Amino acid sequence: MKTLKNRQQGIGGIGLILLIAMGLFAVVLGLKLIPAYMHNGEVVHIFRAIAADPEMQNASVKDIRASFEKRAMMDNLSEVKAEDIQIDKEGASLVLSASYAVKISVAGNVSLLLEFKPSSAK
């Protein structure tokens, strides 16, 4: 009769290699996704800064887009173009929004498509 100690076994060599490979894949995938989410956060920050600027409340659409282009160029953002921005008024406040997608190559012909919809509305 086998005792409990003899029946217990830990992770084998192949299991350990698979576990390490899955962990490395998750880390690499995370490192590729982080910049896209950081850029989206910067776009939201720019939208909110423009919407909160008292000078922009009565500015023309052209001036608002120019302000976004200038701020985006300073932050080195190229995902959202000034033409992609939708400018609306909700009551007395300005609301900026956009919709864009970022394609991230993972490995070979495998890619991820991330869709973002940043807005200055809270």
Q: Which residue has the tokens 């490395």?
A: 24
pLDDT for 48-104, tens place per residue? 999 999 888 888 999 999 999 999 999 888 889 989 999 998 887 899 999 999 999
- Rounded CA separation 79/36 (Å): 9
Find the helix packing angle between 13-52 and 61-74, rounded to 10°.
140
Q: Tens digit of pLDDT for each residue in 4-13?
A: 566 667 778 8
What pLDDT is recorded for position 91?
81
Domain boundaries, the chain: 13-116
Residue 13's pLDDT is 85
| Cα gap 21→51, rounded to integer Å | 45
